[in-house]
Amino acid sequence: MLKTVRNSAGNVLLQILAATAVMSTSFYVLTNQVIGQKEQVSKTANLVNLKFALNSAMDYVIFGVRQKYCFTNDDKLLNDANITQSGSNVSKCNLTHPGSVERLIMSTEQENFIRNLIASGQNVGPVNANQIHLDSMRAYISSDAATTEHPLFPVLKSLRMVKGPDGQAIAVSGIWIELTRDNSEYLPRSGREVYLTARVYLVANKAENEAISLGNKTAELVSQIVIYPREVGSFALLVPNDLHLDTSWDAIMDKGDVAIHKFGSRKDLGASQGLVFQSPVFVNRHLYVPYDSGTGDATDTSIPYSAVTFADRVYLGNGWVRSANKEYSPRSAGGTTDRYWADARTFGGFLKGIENDGGADAGLQYFAKMVTGTQPNTELMSKCTEYEQNKASAKFLLSTEMGARLRESTTNDFDYRLFLSSGNYFKKQSNALILDKSAWGTGTAVVSSNDYNDAVVSLKIVVGERAVEAQFPREAKGKFVVQVGSPELLASYKGAVNSTKSTYDAAKTKYSDYESQLSSLNKSLKIAKEKLAEEEAKPVEPKKSSTTTTTTMTAQGTSTQKSATVEESAAVDDSGGSSSSSKGKGKDVVVEEEEEKVDYQNPKVIAQLEKEIDGLNKNIADLKNNKMPSQQSLIDQASKAYDSAKSDLNKYELIVANPPVIEIATSKVNSYYGFTAYDKLNLDVNVKNPKNLLDKNGNLVAPVVRIQAYDSTYYNSMSTSKTPNQNLVGYLNFEFDGSKTNLVAPYSVSRKADSSAIALNEGEQDWAAFEQECQEARNAQTSQSFGGAGWDVSFASGTRTSWNFAGGQKIGKDPGIDKMSFENQTRANATFQVRSIVGACVITKTSDFITGFFACDSLEIEERSTPLRIIGTFIVGKMRIHPTAIKAGISWSSIYHPQAYKELRGANGVLRSMSGRDCNAANNEPIWHPIPSVQTVADRMTCNTISLRAKADPFQWTAVDPDCGINPNKKSSNTTCKRRLVRFYVVEQSREGSL
């Protein structure tokens, strides 16, 4: 037992010792744990303070970006306030400020436009044209410099309580902020968006550039921000003043106020969603929500309800959410049922919150006629607009005429003034000058000008069957040497010479033949006369008997017989011989012989010679008296013809050596005020050697100058109309005077080459001066649709003028369209419309799909029983939505809603590709392709809602307060623009920090 007791005592002692050891160890461990927990709490508190400071500073910076602050560089990081100079407020936040957010987020397009404004003398405030935009900025806020009025004072104060592990305060002197523009080419861009990297970090002192460290972590925060213009078209609805959800739909509202019906309770809607704004809504002042008068356990059946849900953010100009005529406040401060806007029991809620711009949109106030101001004088603008519209109207231009007026005329030198009627003007053609000499023969043509691509007229010079056509700029000279006659004509002249020479030579040869014949005849006559004389010199034979001896020969012998008679004579032949006869063959032969022969005259010979001489005399007389004189006459005639032919050839060759030269010059006309008169043109025509104007047949022909004027209905010298304006063609039909050596000029043009000149009145309107007045008043470059306006100009008072851009055709009518009723508009026949300003817009129950941009003095949605879908933007002066329409359900979004493009593609092809390809069809070409085809780019554009905004520039402004308008302070002929972005969407894409 004793042993047992002893063992038990030892066990107790051991247990005590063990318990003491455990307790000591536990106490030690717990002490370290408590100390560690305390240190952890301290660290957590430090981290909370640091994170709170960093996030608050980042939020403040983003707010400043949204409000376009000019951050001060005085260690306070405030917006640079106005200063007073000469009794007026002058903004220090200008384009030279080193902390200007506007300079940081400025697009290249806007920067270039500012330079144009500066060049045109517009006021954009102080600016350095060589360095307008900023790539980065850096500013510092000191924890000691901020007063209790500073927005970040609580944050900066908390930095003084940050302590290290040793319990000592960590020195945090302030916060550096850095804003840097991210121009990376890898970031997606589709328009005017700008990317910024915002960095805030805590430093121990201002001189340090590195953030303070807590262990292995740095006290810094980096945010990636994208900024893009907050276009009017991105809103579903814009309200000029207050939006009331706390009254009935038919309540009488003040100007600019809009009421959406308040139901007795949520049960009145049944299962309907009510009116859902899927895109942002802008309310210029306050938004009134129904007052929640129910208790915490009240049911939906006892609480008034407005069936309006704002699924996207609500933007307030300069107001607040109110209820029961006071600022809205939840039923409890932070209760589980009152933490979010979506928890509100009296309306659908602000599912993405609200945002206050800090300033009302003055344009909306003028739009709703809540305030009135001096309306711009549109008289000059109307005239200038009509003038510009006429110049762009093919119908109008095709009715104008070209005329001419002979200003001065001297010998073969004529000065004309060409003009176009009704302010039409000679339009430069962009193609190279045309000179067509294909029908000009061997003539030459040269046109010289300093500008070979800006023809304003085409001149066709016609001389007989030859023609040359040349285009002339406003200042040019042309020299046209006319071909005289033709090779055929020259050949005919030479042929005439040869022919007459041949005739002349033949005539002389014939005469020589006659002379030879005469000589031969004279010789023959002489011989005949000599023979006759010789014959006549012979004695005449006396009259006596003659003896005849006859010898008869027979076979037996010969006998001789003589006989003689007084009357007979010997037979004498022509040669004076005798004749004998004999008979043979046994017959008798009688031989007669003259006994005595004498050479007497032969009468027959004499007669023959006399006859011959008589014939020769006759032939000689015929030659001398007839043939030779006649031939001499022929020689004289041939000689004259030959000389004439040679003279004609010489004259022709002389004319060819001195051809006619037609010189034409065009020159600009200056108006009375020294401006170039684009509706007029000087045309000078000078003709040298007009008497040498011979056609190919050698006929004298007067020239014709055909004038074709180019106006805006011509492009590259070709008419854009299927039926060109023939009144832009005129002919100068010249004639010869009585001497056929000089030209007589027509006093004007003719419409045909063979018609008389027509008289047209040049008119007294100095269109050049008028156009210059319009140009100066419009304050725009020729290539600009709108001019530039200084940033000190406000177009707010002319809001209705600026927004009255898509109504009727009558300029100045307000509203442009009195009433527009949406009837039978469904997805099957939907069209995207732009109408502004409309007096009354009415959506009837027969329509269930409305899309477009609209500015309406009043919008009414009539009672209906089917849902209504609206994709677009409405600016309204007042609005009435029938409660049944809300019960039926209304889904309202802008065109930028993520689902809108799908709906618009399916709604009658509101969005359709340029190529005709189905917008919903798969496209195998990746969107990141570095070199997409033009067709692909065009299809992507037209298949997306961004293409719709091109139809309505004002809906691309960032406020209803016009960016463009007519300057109310001076005489203007055109809309001018400031191109200044007023409001932005600032989207924070990421926020990262190491704490």
pLDDT at 11 (0 to 100)? 62
pLDDT at 128 (0 to 100)? 87
- Using pLDDT thresholds of 50, 70 and 90, give the confidence band for residue 153: confident
Q: Is the pLDDT of residue 221 over 60?
A: yes
Question: Of 982, 960, 962, 964, nearest to 877 (Cα)?
Answer: 960
pLDDT at 13 (0 to 100)? 62
Q: Is the pLDDT of residue 644 over 70?
A: yes
Segment 531-542 mean pLDDT: 86
E strand or H helix at 50: helix 2-66
pLDDT at 375 (0 to 100)? 66
pLDDT at 544 (0 to 100)? 63
Residue 741's alpha-carbon distances to 485, 693, 702, 728, 874, in angstroms, are 17, 10, 10, 31, 78
Among the ranges given (158-167, 533-542, 661-670), the one the predictor scored with the smallest mean pLDDT: 158-167
Is the four-CA dihedral 898, 901, 903, 904 of positive or negative sign? positive
pLDDT at 553 (0 to 100)? 44
E strand or H helix at 871: strand 868-881
pLDDT at 670 (0 to 100)? 85
Summarize pLDDT for 24-50 with one digit per residue, the tens: 665 555 555 544 444 444 455 667 778
Segment 968-991 mean pLDDT: 80
Q: Pairing relation of β-strands 714-715 and 718-719?
A: antiparallel
- Structure tokens given for 842: 């009415």
Per the DSSP assignment, residues forming a β-bridge with 403 are 419
Q: Is the pLDDT of residue 580 over 50?
A: no
- Using pLDDT thresholds of 50, 70 and 90, give the confidence band for residue 58: very high
Among the ranges given (13-22, 146-155, 418-427, 726-735), the one the predictor scored with the smallest mean pLDDT: 13-22
Residue 707 near residue 731, CB atoms below 8 Å: yes
pLDDT at 984 (0 to 100)? 86
- Using pLDDT thresholds of 50, 70 and 90, give the confidence band for residue 225: very high
CB atoms under 10 Å from CB of 114, counted, come to 23
pLDDT at 117 (0 to 100)? 81
Residue 310's alpha-carbon distances to 273, 288, 687, 898, in angstroms, are 12, 13, 83, 16
pLDDT at 557 (0 to 100)? 45
Question: Of 271, 355, 275, 280, nearest to 319 (Cα)?
Answer: 355
Segment 263-275 mean pLDDT: 90
Summarize pLDDT for 313-371 with one digit per residue, the tens: 999 999 999 998 889 888 777 666 777 787 888 999 999 999 998 889 999 999 999 99
- Structure tokens given for 815: 């509203």
The end-to-end CA distance of the chain, in Å, is 69
pLDDT at 732 (0 to 100)? 96
Q: Is the pLDDT of residue 576 over 90?
A: no
Segment 816-821 mean pLDDT: 93
Q: Is the pLDDT of residue 161 over 70?
A: no
Instruction: Provide the angle, in degrees to the nearest 10, between the axes of the packed helices 603-622 and 487-536.
Output: 150
Place of tokens 């037209």: 942
Question: Of 323, 241, 260, 254, nearest to 290 (Cα)?
Answer: 323
Per the DSSP assignment, residues forming a β-bridge with 406 are 416
Residue 842 near residue 823, CB atoms below 8 Å: no
Is the four-CA dihedral 117, 185, 235, 936 of positive or negative sign? positive
pLDDT at 46 (0 to 100)? 67
Segment 142-147 mean pLDDT: 81
pTM of the shown model: 0.63
- Structure tokens given for 278: 């899927």
Q: How far apart are CA 974 and CA 795, in angstroms?
A: 13
Q: Is the pLDDT of residue 19 over 70?
A: no
pLDDT at 405 (0 to 100)? 93
Residue 805's alpha-carbon distances to 362, 780, 816, 894, 952, in angstroms, are 19, 19, 8, 20, 9
Segment 186-211 mean pLDDT: 86
- Structure tokens given for 549: 């001896």
pLDDT at 839 (0 to 100)? 94
pLDDT at 393 (0 to 100)? 83
pLDDT at 874 (0 to 100)? 98
Is the pLDDT higher at 591 or at 943? 943
Question: Of 443, 495, 451, nearest to 471 (Cα)?
Answer: 451
Segment 219-245 mean pLDDT: 94
Residue 880 near residue 860, CB atoms below 8 Å: yes
Summarize pLDDT for 895-904 with one digit per residue, the tens: 999 999 899 9
Largest CA distance in the chain: 254
Per the DSSP assignment, residues forming a β-bridge with 223 are 198, 991
Summarize pLDDT for 511-530 with one digit per residue, the tens: 999 999 999 999 998 998 99
pLDDT at 162 (0 to 100)? 67
Residue 426 near residue 678, CB atoms below 8 Å: yes
pLDDT at 709 (0 to 100)? 96
Question: Of 754, 504, 544, 520, nearest to 632 (Cα)?
Answer: 504
Question: Of 974, 978, 977, 979, nearest to 811 (Cα)?
Answer: 974
Segment 234-249 mean pLDDT: 96
**Ramachandran class of 104: left when φ > 0, alpha when ψ lies in -120 to 50, beta otherwise:** alpha
Alpha-helical runs (H) found in 142-250: 153-159
Place of tokens 């189905």: 918
- Structure tokens given for 465: 């069957």
Q: How far apart are CA 866 and CA 868, in angstroms?
A: 7
Tell me the Cα Rg of the chain. Answer: 60
Report the C-alpha dihedral over residues 743, 746, 747, 749, rounded to 10 degrees: -140
CA atoms within a 13 Å half-sphere pointing along the CA-CB vector of 274: 24
Segment 959-964 mean pLDDT: 92
CA atoms within a 13 Å half-sphere pointing along the CA-CB vector of 954: 27
E strand or H helix at 459: strand 457-463
DSSP per-residue letters across 606-642: HHHHHHHHHHHHHHHHHIIIIIHHHHHHHHHHHHHHH
77 SS3 class: coil
Q: How far apart are CA 748 and CA 761, in angstroms?
A: 11
Residue 255's alpha-carbon distances to 240, 260, 261, 359, 878, in angstroms, are 8, 15, 18, 19, 7
- Using pLDDT thresholds of 50, 70 and 90, give the confidence band for residue 92: confident
Task: Give the percent of the chain with pLDDT over 90.
Answer: 46
Question: Of 883, 853, 874, 888, nearest to 250 (Cα)?
Answer: 883
Alpha-helical runs (H) found in 193-241: none
In 143-210, where do the E strands start and end? 174-181, 194-203
Task: Give the percent of the chain with pLDDT over 70.
Answer: 83
- Residue 104 burial by CB count (10 A; 0-12/13-18/19+): exposed, middle or buried? buried
Mean pLDDT over the full length of the chain: 84
